[in-house]
Amino acid sequence: MAETRHDFDPTAHGTDLTAMANAIRALSMDAVQKANSGHPGMPMGMADVATVLFSQFLQFDPQRPDWADRDRFVLSAGHGSMLLYSLLHLTGYEDMPIEELANFRQLGSRTAGHPEYGHAAGVETTTGPLGQGLGNAVGMALAERMLAARFGKELVDHYTYCLVGDGCLMEGISHEAISLAGHLRLDKLIVLFDDNAISIDGGTDLSCSDDQIARFRACGWETQQVDGHDPAAVAAAIAAAQTSDKPSLIACKTVIGFGAPNKQGTAATHGAPLGDAEIAAARSELGWEAAPFVVPDAILAAWRAVGAKGAGLSAAWDARLAAAPAADQAELKRRLSGELPEDLEQIIAAFKQEIVAEAPSVATRVASQKVLNALVGALPELVGGSADLTGSNGTKAAGMQVVTRDDFAGSYIHYGVREHGMAAAMNGMALHGGILPYGGTFLVFSDYCRPSIRLAALMQQRVVFVMTHDSIGLGEDGPTHQPVEQLAALRAIPGLKVFRPADAVETAECWELALRSEGPSVLALTRQNLPTVRSEHAAENYCSWGAYILASAASQRQVTLLASGSEVQIALQAREHLQNEGISAAVVSMPSWEIFLEQPAHYRDEVLGPGALQVAVEAAAPFGWNRWVGLDGTVVGMPGFGASGKYQELYEHFGITAEGVVKAVKAWL
Amino acid sequence: MAETRHDFDPTAHGTDLTAMANAIRALSMDAVQKANSGHPGMPMGMADVATVLFSQFLQFDPQRPDWADRDRFVLSAGHGSMLLYSLLHLTGYEDMPIEELANFRQLGSRTAGHPEYGHAAGVETTTGPLGQGLGNAVGMALAERMLAARFGKELVDHYTYCLVGDGCLMEGISHEAISLAGHLRLDKLIVLFDDNAISIDGGTDLSCSDDQIARFRACGWETQQVDGHDPAAVAAAIAAAQTSDKPSLIACKTVIGFGAPNKQGTAATHGAPLGDAEIAAARSELGWEAAPFVVPDAILAAWRAVGAKGAGLSAAWDARLAAAPAADQAELKRRLSGELPEDLEQIIAAFKQEIVAEAPSVATRVASQKVLNALVGALPELVGGSADLTGSNGTKAAGMQVVTRDDFAGSYIHYGVREHGMAAAMNGMALHGGILPYGGTFLVFSDYCRPSIRLAALMQQRVVFVMTHDSIGLGEDGPTHQPVEQLAALRAIPGLKVFRPADAVETAECWELALRSEGPSVLALTRQNLPTVRSEHAAENYCSWGAYILASAASQRQVTLLASGSEVQIALQAREHLQNEGISAAVVSMPSWEIFLEQPAHYRDEVLGPGALQVAVEAAAPFGWNRWVGLDGTVVGMPGFGASGKYQELYEHFGITAEGVVKAVKAWL
């Protein structure tokens, strides 16, 4: 690969790289001091490295922050947010005036304590929970390779730079991320390690003796070590990394809090304001005479010149795009906009029609795979994968080619047993744009990737988690593999949609809703076969109401049976039994609480039947169900963890049966 | 260190190691076939390694499975459970007769799909979720070193062996575990890696290119590679590992499903029965003529002789214990029994008395540290730590010495930024016995260690998670660091107690309850100061009721305000405002839902006041609160994720204030 090194000469502006870096230092220590809260140490320590990267390498255009072929810069060590905010201000992002920096960490500012995606242009992802940014960066670098394979390097050809700290590299997710990146040889991923040997508790030698260089090499990375305060050495290392055929680690030996003469090199600079006296001493040490939040003209001019170079780069890309085949132009624009192809609705409708005609008994994980088989042709932006459960999750649709280090033209990723790395990479792909990622594991292992699911919800990224084996219905694998509390735990995450379809028809409807959703979705799918329960009105997407009456009460409704997924059939059987005993019950299928909550109150009342007794049936912890059944209702669910055995016996054992529901109803009536 | 290699000669019993290993293979393939479910590949592949380990090295006594100084054997690759069950049966564990193996994966058997702690003697920990066993093993090996430092090697001197697969080593938790073990140089930890290069999706080369040997070396481990089907080589490697001054990895090159001639070496043997034809072929290949579940006499005799050696080992230990100082004997027995010192109650009472006298305004995280300061002298089994947030979590009590690789006499662990590894190690320490571990991080990062918290709950291990910064009350760090859904998500886990104390008095009470609990606890603690709200009846542990009336209604109760933690003071203020407006309200402090649920119905009714309107106040997702407030009640909580800003402003912004509560009450009344 070729270097993409810029010509940039700060002396033309009457300054130098060190002074430019000192601007970052001054802004960072002043903003933290004013907020009386924050982390000055990292921005001050990595200011030199960041200055070299931004001034000589990073291809970006502050006037067009969403230019698709920009290099990505991910601040995985998100606590050092003032580094990023300083760079955005200095290089001329319009929504980052100096007032925003002075308003650091205040309610309503764009300068949150940790970088928040969507708050300010140039923030590529939300970081702070350590290691997540590294996982995102792997996804972004993978997206770049896949889109380049599809659209060519004329249109897609950029680097992903990621700044990590010691903490990021201690987190387990870092292993999953670097191992996957090394395996796929993501050669345009360059990680800058702030190797300052300080963590919050003190020196990293309190808790860590890893040889990070050897560790990355063991995972197939190119590695270099440089003095992070030597601009020429840093520049040479980045240039070398650009030409490697592997992902690159550059361990930058730095002094945390560089420039604060009495505190630098210690944990004292990590997460607290330096204090007025030390800031004065640092100003003297750095030769920085400007007042707080003032950047001397020459230095600001130099930084703005760095930002201004981007206009030419993005304009050149516009020209290349205009010269590309019209079909490619349209398709790339469609994908980047997130717009779905028009035939999605017909595909889903045709699929449902077929299901209704066949009325199969089929696991929803299998139904999900059939939906994917039907969709992938029309939605080339779909990129699937699984954390080593491809066959079990049904995530590999017919015709999908596997992505390998030698060929990125495929659309299926073997993520390995790396649920956390997978979810973070999916977020990264969605953030990159042009890709709609979905990935599978068992529902119980949502716990392994929960921090990334949370960030998908916080950032409202369109990613789809395909989580199968969603209850004791998985049988013999036993309690370690049987989700019980996971449905509740996921429903508790704001901004996440949890779908639990009852049959193949609902599975198709939930997939459609997940694909059309602004944010992330979880599809909870069964291992075991389920009958087709939804045959009427299959032309409409009933799941789009969150919950609906699947079977009405034969006469004046006395009981409303609420169920999701595999328990809907049990509710239907219970309804029959109750009817035989003269008790009139309706069955409500409730694939999504979140969507049902968005419906108007009168519709919710119609569905729940406030005059009736509400009984919920779900093979999961009852936690949360009182939202729908009230204190008077009851829940037929799991009293605790599951057990190992045949699933039919487990349902009997835990009383999650039609008889169990009838008994519960009669006990309350 | 010295080798602990046994004399064992199978020829004395008329058999050999290969035939002994074939017994494991036959039992495993037959049990999986009969269950029509399970994983034969790993047990067949690792049978030779396990046979060498158990017959020549492992110090254990099947007649005394709880002998404290036994070597630990952890099957981290828990799907290979038939390996363990076979070994337990063959070596003569009484509760593992052949019938249990024939009943593999059936409801009510001791032979669950994955090894379940407490179901059968000899199962040291519950495994199945990959990588967890490795994390447990690190905790066990650490516990051994710490107890040896306290009680001497005459009483505590054993190895921890852990069998891991490719999947364990792909999981992020493996990085945290091996990095911590390498840092602490846990030289009596020996990991046997089933290096079969097969995962569920196919060859590991689909997803992984790691050089595991280099990776472990980078983390400070001794490493060896052997042919896992060469008993002499395996024995030599284990002997060498025993004498290393570092933790050891032995990568055992194996053939998955070894002995099944048409399927071995492929993913087909991993997770499905081999089928009758292939089993017949394997019998022929292995020269195994016995019927299913029959072990030829000579082979069984040899295995039983292996088990019988343990009696002498455990008896010798008894003698050493009897010769130890009486105080040491008593203290070791007390610690192993889990019995708490008698003065715990007085210490807590004295602490509370002092708090009531001072009535401080103090963060509950600080109160927690003060409780610990008071406790550590009396409870030497307490081992604290933090995932690099020692000062923030307040986990390092006065006088606690830090454990280092050179000195294990301390009781405080710098776990590094490794929440998941910390929690798994804590589980391992608790399982080992003799130690009562607690560890800290921010509440939001409970997500990072959730799989281990779940296992603590499933195994009912006494571990205490000290989770501070428990709401938007942490302020400027913003939404990535502000827990919102974590309280609900933790409350949803069966068998876990979640405590959220309202002041220093309640903090002491919750600590006492956590220490006395059979299972795991989470203490959710504030960053911000809280007034002392509990001054009356401080001699009693009111938190032991889960919830209680902190302030009664002045007249006939119209409203019950339910709150936890930092919102209790808000509820108290709201009560005053309401009273001024002629509305009579009681305030209920609700530190633990789980304990409140265990109270008799009449007490719960008395507290909740069914005739009154229930209003909950908690700076968290309302999810789950309808359990207490019903459909008619309301929740003043977080509508979604938090924000970055001063915490006082955030409370105002989200309406979690006395005024907000009053408004909610008036809207409903």
The partner residue sitting opposite B207, judged by closest CB among A166, A414, A624, is A414
d(CA A151, CA A148): 5
How many angstroms separate the Cα of B441 from the Cα of each of A127, B379, B422, B514?
Answer: 18, 22, 10, 17
B647 to chain A: closest CA residue: A107
Report the pLDDT value the prediction gives residue B556, as an integer from 0 to 100: 95
Query: Hey, how many other C-beta atoms are within 10 angstroms of the C-beta on A319?
Result: 10
Where do we find the tokens 């903090």? B507
- A578: CB partners within 8 A, 6+ apart: A559, A584, A585, A662, A665
Question: Percentage of chain A surpassing pLDDT 70?
Answer: 100
Whether the CB-CB separation of A485 and B492 falls below 8 Å is answered with: yes
pLDDT mean over B80-101: 98
Q: Would you call B560 helix, strand, or coil by DSSP?
A: strand
B35 to chain A: closest CA residue: A476
Name the E strands within A145-188: 160-164
pLDDT digits (tens, 9 = 90+) for A450-475: 999 999 999 999 999 999 999 999 99
pLDDT at B1 over 70: no
Considering only residues 484 to 513 of chain B, which have any Cβ-Cβ distance to chain A shorter than 8 Å?
Answer: 484-485, 488-489, 491-495
Report the pLDDT value the prediction gives residue B547, as an integer from 0 to 100: 98
Average pLDDT value over all residues in chain B:
97
> Could you tell me which of A31, A30, A6, A32 has the C-alpha nearest to residue A17?
A6
Angle between helical axes of B326-337 and B132-151 (0-180°, round to 10): 160
Considering only residues 601 to 630 of chain A, which have any Cβ-Cβ distance to chain B shorter than 8 Å?
Answer: 621, 623-624, 626-627, 630
Report the pLDDT value the prediction gives residue A323, as an integer from 0 to 100: 98
Whether the CB-CB separation of B627 and B465 falls below 8 Å is answered with: no
pLDDT at B606 over 80: yes
Whether the CB-CB separation of B56 and B49 falls below 8 Å is answered with: no
d(CA B401, CA B396): 9
pLDDT digits (tens, 9 = 90+) for B22-60: 999 999 999 999 999 999 999 999 999 999 999 999 999
Considering only residues 334 to 373 of chain A, which have any Cβ-Cβ distance to chain B shorter than 8 Å?
Answer: none
What residues in B contact A204, CB-CB < 8 Å? Answer: 416
Considering only residues 178 to 197 of chain A, which have any Cβ-Cβ distance to chain B shorter than 8 Å?
Answer: 179-180, 182-183
pLDDT digits (tens, 9 = 90+) for A419-433: 999 999 999 999 999
Report the pLDDT value the prediction gives residue B331, as an integer from 0 to 100: 97
pLDDT digits (tens, 9 = 90+) for A275-316: 999 999 999 999 999 999 999 999 999 999 999 999 999 999
pLDDT mean over B626-654: 95
> Could you tell me which of B40, A614, A305 has the C-alpha nearest to residue A604?
A614
The answer to whether B645 contacts A106, with C-beta atoms less than 8 Å apart, is yes
pLDDT digits (tens, 9 = 90+) for A94-117: 999 999 999 999 999 999 999 999
Binned at pLDDT 50, 70 and 90, residue A2 comes out as low
pLDDT digits (tens, 9 = 90+) for A50-86: 999 999 999 999 999 999 999 999 999 999 999 999 9
Helix (H) or strand (E) holding B30: helix B17-35
Binned at pLDDT 50, 70 and 90, residue A538 comes out as confident
Whether the CB-CB separation of B417 and A167 falls below 8 Å is answered with: yes
The answer to whether B621 contacts A488, with C-beta atoms less than 8 Å apart, is no
Helix (H) or strand (E) holding A506: helix A504-516
The answer to whether B624 contacts A624, with C-beta atoms less than 8 Å apart, is yes
What residues in B contact A594, CB-CB < 8 Å? Answer: none
Considering only residues 435 to 464 of chain A, which have any Cβ-Cβ distance to chain B shorter than 8 Å?
Answer: 444-445, 447-448, 450-451, 454-455, 457-458
pLDDT mean over B539-545: 96
Whether the CB-CB separation of A413 and A383 falls below 8 Å is answered with: yes
Q: Tell how strand A382-386 and strand B248-253 pair up.
A: unpaired
Shortest Cα–Cα distance, A469 to chain B (Å)? 14
Report the pLDDT value the prediction gives residue A92, as an integer from 0 to 100: 98
Report the pLDDT value the prediction gives residue A3, as an integer from 0 to 100: 75
What residues in A contact B208, CB-CB < 8 Å? Answer: 179, 183, 416
Q: Would you call A573 helix, strand, or coil by DSSP?
A: helix
The partner residue sitting opposite A172, judged by closest CB among B175, B390, B650, is B175
Report the pLDDT value the prediction gives residue B610, as an integer from 0 to 100: 86
Q: Would you call B153 helix, strand, or coil by DSSP?
A: coil
The answer to whether B417 contacts A627, with C-beta atoms less than 8 Å apart, is no
The answer to whether A113 contacts B481, with C-beta atoms less than 8 Å apart, is yes
Shortest Cα–Cα distance, A15 to chain B (Å)? 35
pLDDT digits (tens, 9 = 90+) for B181-219: 999 999 999 999 999 999 999 999 999 999 999 999 999
The answer to whether A653 contacts B388, with C-beta atoms less than 8 Å apart, is no
B207 to chain A: closest CA residue: A416
The answer to whether B201 contacts A392, with C-beta atoms less than 8 Å apart, is no
What is the value of ipTM here, to two decimals? Answer: 0.98
Considering only residues 22 to 41 of chain A, which have any Cβ-Cβ distance to chain B shorter than 8 Å?
Answer: 35, 37-38
Q: Tell how strand A585-589 and strand A548-551 pair up.
A: antiparallel
How many angstroms separate the Cα of B463 from the Cα of each of A26, A453, B281, B522, B523?
Answer: 45, 26, 48, 9, 11
Q: Please indicate whether residue A419 is annotated as part of the active site.
A: yes
The partner residue sitting opposite B107, judged by closest CB among A108, A631, A645, is A645
pLDDT digits (tens, 9 = 90+) for A194-208: 999 999 999 999 999
- B35: CB partners within 8 A, 6+ apart: A476, B104, B105, B106, B273
What residues in A contact B37, CB-CB < 8 Å? Answer: 475-476
Shortest Cα–Cα distance, A292 to chain B (Å)? 21
What residues in A contact B468, CB-CB < 8 Å? Answer: none
Taking phi over 0 as left and psi of -120 to 50 as alpha, with beta for the rest, A299 belongs to: alpha
The partner residue sitting opposite B389, judged by closest CB among A112, A200, A402, is A200
Q: Which two tokens stand for residue A360?
A: 């199969």
